[in-house]
Amino acid sequence: MLRLPKFELENPTTVAEAVALLARHGDDAQVIAGGTDLVPNMKHELFTPDVVVSLAGIAELRGVCVRDDGTVCIGAMTTLDDVAASEPVRARALAVTQAAALIAGPQLRRMGTLGGNVMLDTRCQWYNQTHFWRQALGFCLKKDGTLCHVVEGGGKCVAAASNDTAPALMTVGAVLVFHGPDGPREVPIDDLWHPDGIYNKKVRGELLTEVRIPPRADDGTRLLGAYGKLRERGSIDFPLFGVAVRLDVDANDTIQDADLCSVALQARPVRLKKMAELLRGVTLGSDAFQDAVATCAAQAAKQCRPLANVPGDADYRHAMVPVYVRRTLLAAAAGSGPVHHI
């Protein structure tokens, strides 16, 4: 039986009230959205805030809308289920809907939100454990201790970003809207991350209110995308490796641009390098496409070095990197994503 540590619960009904509460309580407060990450973490005594500020009562944070200029705006409290089923999001960010649909299990997708997924704490098999367990092993850097169990002698936490929607949102250049005491500001998702497993975001203490997918360039290209996810059980688990693909193809099915981003490797989601260079100018279905896909997969295997931070054998995860990159690229081209093993 796991009990929550004591806290006071605040239930604001507007963004302004929530922002004021966060400003007043500073580091003593923590935001709760769906609670599917925060509640287990609090039960494990990884977070023991005095005040928990719930966003459940803020109606303006829920739902998807499309602006006149084509920007798709997703409220931070929109559930993963609703993101997965959203037609505007699917049309503009296929990898995002596919990633959302593969997160956790059905009950958790109904409770968990997109905002909570973006702001998810990093994960590590030596960290996401009860206080008793962590104490028995010896506390680590990320919480209460001074050493890392993953990298011997390591002075930096390498707990893994494990949020499936993050790499998918990166491939479509999503923009995050944060509200603080000074009002709202926009942060491109690429600029959110900080490569430190203890806290992997550059924004702290502000409220994420909206995730925006900017309009696509009017260049006549078509968007293709897919998400590939390796996990232990197809029904519920966090990613052991995740890769999101975006391909922009012209009327002749020739790739004009491409982006591949991955997750569950290190503290921040990582953009795979040189992928656009390898894929640009290649026509889907051609022999050159098959060759380019194989080269991308081999390149990805060189760039990605899974660590013993999340469960699953690191060598096995490494061997799966080229497999998932290849299959997810092919699935994006064929429109047959997502890629997962069940």
Partner 1 sequence: MRLQRLQINGDRIEVAAPSHWTLLEVLRYRLGLTGSKQGCDKGDCGACTVLIDGKPVLACLTLSALCEEREITTIEGLLPAHLRSGGTGPDPVQDAFDRCGALQCGFCQPGMMLSARALLNENPAPSRAEIKDALAGNLCRCTGYTQIVQAVELVVAEAAGSEPEPPAWAPNANPWKNGCAKNGHEEPPARATDNGEGA
Ligand X SMILES: Cc1cc2nc3c(=O)[nH]c(=O)nc-3n(C[C@H](O)[C@H](O)[C@H](O)COP(=O)(O)OP(=O)(O)OC[C@H]3O[C@@H](n4cnc5c(N)ncnc54)[C@H](O)[C@@H]3O)c2cc1C
> Would you tell me which residues interact with ligand SF4 (CB under 6 A)?
124, 126-127, 140-142, 148-150, 157-159, 197, 309
Nearer to ligand X, 80 or 150 (CB): 80
Query: Closest by alpha carbon to 100, among 227, 266, 258?
Result: 227
Rounded least distance, CB 134 to ligand SF4, Å: 9
Are 142 and 127 in contact by the 8 Å Cβ rule? The answer is yes
Query: Which of helix, strand or coil describes residue 46?
Result: coil
Count the neighbouring beta carbons within 10 Å of the beta carbon of residue 218: 7
Rounded least distance, CB 69 to ligand X, Å: 24
* Ramachandran bin of 274, using left for φ above 0, alpha for ψ from -120 to 50, beta for the remaining angles: left
Is the torsion defined by CA of 179, 185, 189, 190 positive or negative? negative
Binds ligand X (CB under 6 A): choice among 11, 21, 23, 35: 35
Q: Does 168 bind ligand X (CB under 6 A)?
A: no
Answer with the entry of ligand SF4, ligand X, partner 1, none that 131 interacts with (C-beta below 5 to 8 A by kind).
Answer: none
Instruction: Write down how long the chain is.
Output: 342
Answer with the entry of partner 1, ligand SF4, ligand X, none that 150 interacts with (C-beta below 5 to 8 A by kind).
Answer: ligand SF4
Answer with the entry of ligand SF4, ligand X, partner 1, none that 124 interacts with (C-beta below 5 to 8 A by kind).
Answer: ligand SF4
Rounded least distance, CB 84 to partner 1, Å: 12
Write out the DSSP string of 146-181. SB-SSSTT--S--PBP--THHHHHHHTT-EEEEEET
Binds partner 1 (CB under 8 A): choice among 13, 16, 27, 105: 105
Nearer to partner 1, 2 or 334 (CB): 2
Q: Which residues, 6 or more positions from 175, have their beta carbon under 8 angstroms from its beta carbon?
A: 186, 187, 188, 189, 211, 212, 213, 214
Instruction: Report the side by side order of strands in the sheet with 8-10.
Output: 8-10, 51-54, 29-32
Residue with tokens 């093993």: 341
Give the per-residue contact string, 179-218, with ligand X (x = CB under 6 A; - = no).
----------------------------xx----------
Give the per-residue contact string, 85-124, with ligand X (x = CB under 6 A; - = no).
------------------xx---x--xxx-xxx-xxx---
Answer with the entry of ligand SF4, ligand X, partner 1, none that 228 interacts with (C-beta below 5 to 8 A by kind).
Answer: none
Answer with the entry of ligand SF4, partner 1, ligand X, none that 117 interacts with (C-beta below 5 to 8 A by kind).
Answer: ligand X
Nearer to partner 1, 108 or 203 (CB): 108
CA 69, CA 303: separation in Å to the nearest integer?
37
Are 191 and 118 in contact by the 8 Å Cβ rule? The answer is no
CA 171, CA 148: separation in Å to the nearest integer?
31
Q: Does 106 bind partner 1 (CB under 8 A)?
A: yes
Residue with tokens 């092993």: 137
Both tokens of residue 310?
A: 């999340």
Q: Does 21 bind partner 1 (CB under 8 A)?
A: no
Rounded least distance, CB 175 to partner 1, Å: 29
